[in-house]
């Protein structure tokens, strides 16, 4: 594929950061048996990768701003353009020596995502998309899956963990989807989950309360691969709010329906609990 100048800049930054992460990833596995553990080392690896991306993108477009996981917001002179960067999506996987993590870079223009790159250096897979130009992995065109029946559909999903997310609500969603589908996978890196939907590996994906840098690049991959991306209720997707449900047209519609049914069942259960409490 012929990449635009912008995609070349983004790709170079992602691959350079990825090489930094791979060097550090080799050390993480050696640190797993240490008393202190690798947590501090991984935090430093995250910062090093972000510094690489910041340096490379700033050099190419010095007037553009940033929204980054570690640095936060960096204002630019050009108010129309902003890079949205996660230098290490899948930090927990990285910390535990699991080779499923990515560098994620998106370009926001006037509030809309117009280009995205997701690079998994452990698998040497580079996913790229630009508005109107299609989606690719390692220069090969990708499309969302053609499956239309839920019993054949494989879903990716996020999952809440200690101190984060609505655990009870997620269990309702999980029960609803797993009862109708071929299975659910929790891979631990939302940018790659979205890239896998774009490549037809997952038929759909959903997760709540993600950050902009988790979903911005992945969402344009799905759309440019022919998929549908909304919030979990089927409304307009907003990478700033971070609730996402996606898939091909049929599977996306069915997934949103299942998630809505889970919400209704939970509300009914809450109402029943309230009524029961009032009778006591």
Strand partners, 116: 106, 129
Q: How far is CA 149 from CA 33, 134, 216, 229, in A?
A: 45, 25, 28, 18
Edge-to-edge strands of the sheet including 112-120?
72-74, 64-68, 78-89, 102-109, 112-120, 125-130, 135-137, 140-141
* CA pair distance 41, 66, nearest whole angstrom: 25
Instruction: Answer yes or no: is 124 a known binding residue.
Output: no
224 appears as a binding residue in the annotation: no
- Phi, psi (deg, nearest 5) at residue 144: -65, 160
| Residue 125 labeled ligand binder | no
Question: 89 among the known binding-site residues?
Answer: yes
Q: What span, in angstroms and rounded, lies between the C-alpha atoms of 84 and 86?
A: 7
Q: Is 231 annotated as a binding residue?
A: no
From the annotation, which residues make up the binding site? 69, 86, 88-89, 214
Pick out the residues of the known binding site for Mg(2+).
69, 86, 88-89, 214
């Amino acid at each position: 594929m012929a990449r635009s100048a912008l995609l070349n800049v983004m790709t170079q930054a992602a691959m350079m950061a990825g090489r930094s992460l791979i060097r550090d990833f080799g050390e993480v596995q050696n640190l797993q048996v240490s008393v202190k553990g690798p947590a501090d080392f991984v935090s430093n690896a995250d910062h090093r990768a972000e510094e690489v991306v910041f340096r490379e993108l700033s050099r190419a477009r010095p007037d553009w701003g940033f929204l980054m996981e570690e640095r936060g917001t960096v204002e630019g002179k050009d108010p129309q353009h902003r890079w949205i960067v996660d230098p290490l999506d899948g930090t927990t996987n990285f910390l535990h020596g699991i080779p499923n993590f990515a560098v994620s870079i998106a370009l926001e223009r006037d509030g809309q995502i117009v280009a995205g790159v997701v690079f998994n250096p452990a698998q040497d897979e580079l996913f790229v998309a630009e508005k109107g130009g299609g989606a690719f992995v390692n220069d090969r065109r990708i499309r969302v899956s053609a499956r239309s029946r839920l019993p054949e559909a494989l879903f990716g999903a996020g999952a809440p963990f200690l101190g984060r997310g609505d655990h009870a609500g997620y269990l309702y969603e999980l029960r609803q989807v797993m009862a109708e589908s071929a299975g659910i996978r929790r891979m631990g890196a939302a940018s790659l989950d979205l890239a896998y939907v774009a490549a037809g590996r997952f038929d759909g994906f959903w997760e709540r309360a993600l950050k902009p840098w988790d979903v911005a690049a992945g969402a344009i991959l799905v759309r440019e691969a022919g998929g549908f991306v909304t919030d979990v209720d089927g409304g307009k997707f907003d990478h700033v709010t971070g609730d996402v449900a996606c898939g091909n047209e049929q599977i996306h519609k069915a997934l949103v329906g299942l998630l809505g049914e889970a919400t209704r069942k939970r509300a009914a259960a809450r109402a029943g609990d309230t009524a029961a409490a009032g009778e006591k």
